[in-house]
Each structure stands twice: as C-alpha cells, then as structure tokens.
C-alpha cells in the first residue's frame, strides 16, 4: 500500500540564511559548484512549510543573456521580527544580501554572489508583505521577496565556512 506523505523528497526550501552583501571573505568556483567562506551574523528565520520558493529564470533579450533570481520566503509573522526591522529593510533594499538556500533535496545554493559579478549583484528587497490572513484560524505571515540579476544560475555550495 502506498503511503501519502506531506514530506517533499525532492523539492522545496528547508531554510535560508541571509548575510550582508559584503559577507563573502573568499569564494572558489568550479564547474561543480563553489566553496565559500562567510563572515558576520546571518538572519535565519524559521520558515513555514510549503510557502517558500526559489526560482531562476534564464532569458535572452536582443542577444543578451541573463538569469533572474527570485527568492520568496514565508514565515510566521511572530518569528519574522528581523525581517520587519527598518535596519534590515534598508540594508536589503540598498546594499542587498547574500542568501544561502538549503533545499530539501540536500543541495545548498549561493544566491546574490557569483563568479562573474562577485557581490555587485546581490539579492535585493522587492517586497515584504505582512498579512493577518483571511480568517480567524489563519496564521499571520510575513512574506519576504528578494530578487537579483546575473549571468549564471546559482552555484551549489560544496563547502561552507562561517566565521
């Protein structure tokens, strides 16, 4: 008999750590992925199940190739105070952030930092939505949406060092 489970064996975001755009101390890229050393404190908010999404879209316009990176992460609003702070919103809007995205399939991706641009194209705030929900039983949520433009897909992190 086949059991139905809510566990996602190959998709979805398990966790996201957001670092300042200047947090990369060293990054070594190869065809397999990257090794990266980060400094500083990360913002790690517990995510709600099945609400978050990381999308990379490869497009060519007039012979110019680009990859659009979109990270949408959803948390219980009571846990998202760090996202809701004016300091974070200003930093994410102006300076940008680097995201370490852990997926349920076991991979870990680096977004907002690349071999080509370094930290010049970090993830930047597109929107933050704080929602009460539609009904009394809904969980109040915070939905953070970050975007970046690059020429490559996000590399898989092979080795992560954090000072």
pLDDT above 60 for 9: no
pTM score over 0.75: yes
Give residue 84's pLDDT. Answer: 92
Q: Is the pLDDT assigned to residue 6 strictly greater than 70?
A: no
**Quick check: 160 pLDDT over 80?**
yes
pLDDT at 161 > cutoff 50 = yes
Range in 5-9, 73-77, 100-104, 119-123 with the lowest mean pLDDT: 5-9
Question: Tokens 């947090």 map to which residue?
Answer: 23
Query: What pLDDT does residue 81 have?
Result: 93
Break the chain into its structural domains and give their ranges: 14-55+74-140
Q: Which pLDDT band holds residue 134 (cuts at 50, 70, 90)?
A: confident
User: Tell me: the pLDDT tens digits for 60-117?
Assistant: 888 888 999 999 999 999 999 999 999 999 999 999 999 999 998 889 999 999 888 8
How high is the pLDDT of residue 7?
52
Residue 158 pLDDT greater than 50, yes or no = yes
Q: Which of 26, 121, 22, 13 is nearest to 75 (CA)?
A: 13
pLDDT value, residue 49: 79
In this prediction, residue 1 carries a pLDDT of 42
Q: Is the pLDDT of residue 119 over 60?
A: yes
**In the sheet that 13-20 helps form, which strands lie side by side, from edge to edge?**
13-20, 97-103, 108-111
Q: What is the pLDDT of residues 13-64, one digit of tens each?
A: 999 999 999 999 999 999 999 999 999 899 999 999 778 999 999 998 888 8
Contact 99, 146 (CB under 8 A): yes
Instruction: Please provide the distance, in angstroms rounded to a whole number, between the alpha carbons at the two ends of the chain.
Output: 48
| 64 exposure class (CB count in 10 Å sphere: 0-12, 13-18, 19+) | exposed
């Amino acid at each position: 008999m086949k059991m139905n489970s809510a566990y996602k064996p190959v998709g979805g975001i398990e966790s996201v750590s957001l670092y300042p755009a200047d947090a990369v101390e060293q990054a070594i890229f190869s065809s397999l992925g990257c090794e990266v050393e980060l400094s500083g404190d990360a913002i790690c908010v517990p995510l709600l199940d099945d609400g978050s999404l990381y999308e990379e879209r490869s497009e060519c316009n007039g012979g110019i190739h680009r990859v659009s990176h979109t990270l949408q992460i959803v948390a219980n609003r009571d846990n998202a105070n760090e996202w809701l702070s004016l300091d974070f919103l200003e930093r994410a809007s102006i300076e940008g952030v680097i995201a370490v995205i852990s997926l349920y399939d076991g991979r870990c991706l680096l977004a907002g930092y690349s071999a080509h641009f370094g930290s010049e194209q970090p993830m930047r705030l597109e929107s933050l939505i704080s929602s009460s929900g539609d009904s009394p039983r809904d969980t109040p949520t915070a939905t953070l949406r970050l975007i970046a433009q690059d020429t490559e897909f996000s590399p898989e992190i092979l080795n992560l060092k954090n000072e």
